[in-house]
A and B are shown apart, each in its own frame.
Chain A
Amino acid sequence: MRILRAATVTATVTALAAAASGCGGGTSPGGGGSNDSPKTLTYWASNQGPNVEADKKILGPELKKFERRTGIKVKLEVIPWPDLLNRILAATTSGQGPDVLNIGNTWSASLQATGALLPWDKRNLDEIGGRDRFVAPALGATGAAGKDPAAVPLYSLTYALYYNKQMFKEAGISEPPATWDELVADGKKISKDGTWGLGAEGGQLTNNIHQAFALGKQHGADFFDAAGKPTFTSDGAVAAVKQYVDFMAKDQIIAPGNAEYGQNQSLRDFAKGRTAMVLWQAAATTFAADGMKPDDWGVVPVPVPSGTPGTGRQINSMLAGINIAVFKNTHNLDGARKFVKFMTSDAEQKLLNKTYGSVPPVKAAQQDPAFNRQDTKVLRETLTRSAAPLPQVADEAQFETSVGTAIKDLFADAAAGHPVTTESVRARLTKAEQQMAK
């Protein structure tokens, strides 16, 4: 009797469930948006400035400018990084999202696979001035190879080596390092009495990935093969990861405490003179906020084995950046395209990249003198000469999580004084690779 009743309840619930979800997910497959509400746009911006409020102040006047020109009102929402991917996921699943949104360029292929973003085919690209306006590496980080880009580059960044001039002078070092051997040697000279050679963010998965990726290129290793299968345990990949962790484990030029850094504490250590070098994307504004004068630090390209950055094995940075994408379900397709055109226009590119300390992926905008300062010049040259995008595969998020965690764990081992060997690195990476397998 009771079982019967329970069965009835279950049946009712199931029926209700079917009814509630009946109309199903949102993204109409193959649908391409509409122009139902031509007067408004919703824009999800990622958090680029010091905080969300600062971003609103920076973007507000520009959006007004756009409204004056086109009559389209843009509703801005700045989304903090921890929430951004979940919000995009929610939008993708439900089909209810913004019209235009910012995405981390490493997510391009992942999000492209969902089919929720408008593909930038030739016609769409021509509407914003064509492919050739952008530097090639930046376009390489907009989706899987051989497919139309899922987004357009907006702000670009690369890594550079920041160093403390005073600390270098005190240690008797005249030239900043150009090779890893020099970096290790210099770091050892500096690492004593509570000061350290290099800073790291061992607890930050993405940063770990970025460093390991660039080192991987120098060892001739990609983390994925041409078919998109993970190859985390190749000799090159293992060597790259070990080299990075060894800065703490073997060379001891990274303070053990950096193993748990995950919120950019290494930047403050640098600004306060506790570490002499840090590998970072664009740190000028943070240094200033922590009270370090621009004259106190110098910046050079990230070291490479040969001393001269270039392509192939001389790549010294992953290509970081933010892309701007149009949500396929937009109700204002024309407006969205106009908005992307506006945001990638020379004038806006100059202004916004200048404010955020990034480098414009638009060639013409790079001519501005603001991108010729000591730091931006290095970043800009790295962008055009020696940067490569992270693997554009759909499983990129899993890659970051699994390998990033492996490196985090290795740092924890090193900090605790456990030996880090080729075998232990390979074991961690094997585990990471197995987690990728479906």
Chain B
Amino acid sequence: MASTAHRPPRTAVRRRSPTAPPRSFRWIRRIFLTALTGFVLLPVYVMLSSSLKPLEDVSGTFHWLPSELTIRPYLDIWRTVPLARYFTNSLIVAGSATLCSVLIAIFAAYAVSRYRFRGKRVFTLTVLSTQMFPGILFLLPLFLIYVNIGNSTGVALYGSRGGLILTYLTFSLPFSIWMLAGYFASVPRELDEAAYVDGCGPLGALFRVVVPAALPGIVAVAVYAFMTAWGEVLFASVMTNDTTRTLSVGLQGYATQNDVYWNQVMAASLVVSVPVVAGFLLLQRYLVAGLTAGAVK
């Protein structure tokens, strides 16, 4: 499926381009890519087909095709769990976290890539090292800090979306800063200088010249930040309540005390996945481009 349909004779390949792959390579490629596609798509197929099955089908032996097609699971999911509300919460939380994270990362990355200052190494090392903190170690302390901030200032962080936004945006910061710093470094300094000549200050240069030039990198970082916030389970389960619960935790509601509604679980999973996957795939070009100049340097 992967390679071209017509297969020119070997000599023709040689003549056409010196780098064209030999036939054996193309066969290996075909087999590998087909197998990999199967591996990747299998769960997606299960998700889709099971979501269209009646409950009997998913509680008995697995079958590739539904005994009858039904859209009932898609109607039921909204009643079993307040999915719409969880969805909105997730959207707000992940969206805001992404926005803030990217903005803050832009500032920090600009400082790291354009200036020499004392403590730069300490800063970058510290920030990167937070990647290895086990979440479980600071879950309870962070929770206590939020509660104490709430008690002393009245700013409710625990149980609110704000607290979750703050937490998630910090999760994606280290990687974002590191990646953007790399990307910014690849933007020629002459562009900054030109902006100064035009009368911009450092921040003017950042937003008028560097940011537009680094757009693919910024998109890549944004996607990463969004995904991080969208899927997190551990912190969300402790820090949210009924009104602020996010999807990743809320989806567990389909496995209730009485039963697992596999078809509903699959339908709901699909519903929450479609927008993210669609957005992700639309932006994937930027992602590759962003990484090419950023992280890869």
Contact = CB atoms under 8 A, between A and B. Distances in A.
Interface of A: 2, 5-6, 9, 20-26, 47-48, 50-53, 77-83, 86-87, 90, 93-96, 263-265, 267-268, 272, 285-286, 289-290
A333 to B, nearest CB: 20
Contacts of B238: 86-87, 90
B141 interface: yes
A263 B33 CA distance: 37
A94 B255 CA distance: 29
B15 interface: no
8 contacts: A6-B122, A9-B122, A20-B149, A48-B257, A51-B253, A78-B242, A80-B256, A82-B252
Given A53-B81, A86-B238, A265-B59, A25 B256 contact: no
Given A52-B253, A86-B238, A289 B148 contact: no
Contacts of A83: 237, 249
B144 interface: yes
B260 interface: yes
A23 B152 contact: yes
Contacts of A286: 258-259
Contact of B144 (A21, A267, A268): A21
B53 to A, nearest CB: 15
B292 interface: no
Given A80-B252, A264-B258, A268-B259, 9 more contacts: A22-B148, A26-B151, A50-B258, A53-B80, A87-B238, A96-B158, A263-B259, A286-B259, A289-B259
Interface string B117-141: 0010010001000000000000011
B15 to A, nearest CB: 60
A127 to B, nearest CB: 29
Contacts of B87: none
Given A26-B147, A94-B147, A86 B258 contact: no
B181 to A, nearest CB: 20
A77 B242 contact: yes
Contact of B147 (A53, A82, A96): A96
Given A94-B144, A263-B255, A265-B59, A53 B79 contact: yes
A377 B147 CA distance: 47
Those 9 A-B pairs whose CB atoms lie nearest each other, nearest first: A94-B147, A263-B260, A77-B242, A286-B258, A51-B80, A20-B145, A51-B256, A263-B255, A86-B238
Nearest to B59: A268
Contacts of A23: 148, 151-152
B226 to A, nearest CB: 24
B280 interface: no
A9 B118 CA distance: 13
Contacts of A263: 255, 259-260
Given A5-B122, A23-B152, A47 B257 contact: yes
A267 B122 contact: no
Contact of B257 (A2, A96, A264, A289): A264
B70 interface: no
Contacts of A285: 258
Interface string B72-92: 000000011110000000000
Contact of A264 (B56, B81, B241, B259): B259
Nearest to B234: A86
Interface in B38-87: 56, 59, 79-82
B256 A47 contact: yes
Interface string B249-293: 100110111111000000000000000000000000000000000
B253 A289 contact: no
B143 interface: yes
Contact of A93 (B144, B151, B152): B144
B150 interface: yes
Nearest to B126: A9
Nearest to A82: B252
Contacts of B82: 52-53
Contacts of A272: 56, 59
A325 B76 CA distance: 34
A2 B118 CA distance: 11
Contacts of A96: 147, 150-151, 158
Contact of B241 (A53, A77, A268): A77
Given A9-B122, A86-B237, A289-B258, A79 B242 contact: yes
Contact of A52 (B81, B122, B241, B255): B81
A21 B146 CA distance: 10
Nearest to A290: B259
A285 B256 CA distance: 14
B238 to A, nearest CB: 5
In this complex, which of A2, A52, A78, A95 has the most chain B Cβ atoms within 10 angstroms of its Cβ?
A52
A85 to B, nearest CB: 11
Nearest to B148: A23
A25 B144 contact: yes
B140 A93 contact: yes
Contacts of B242: 52, 77-79
Contacts of A77: 241-242
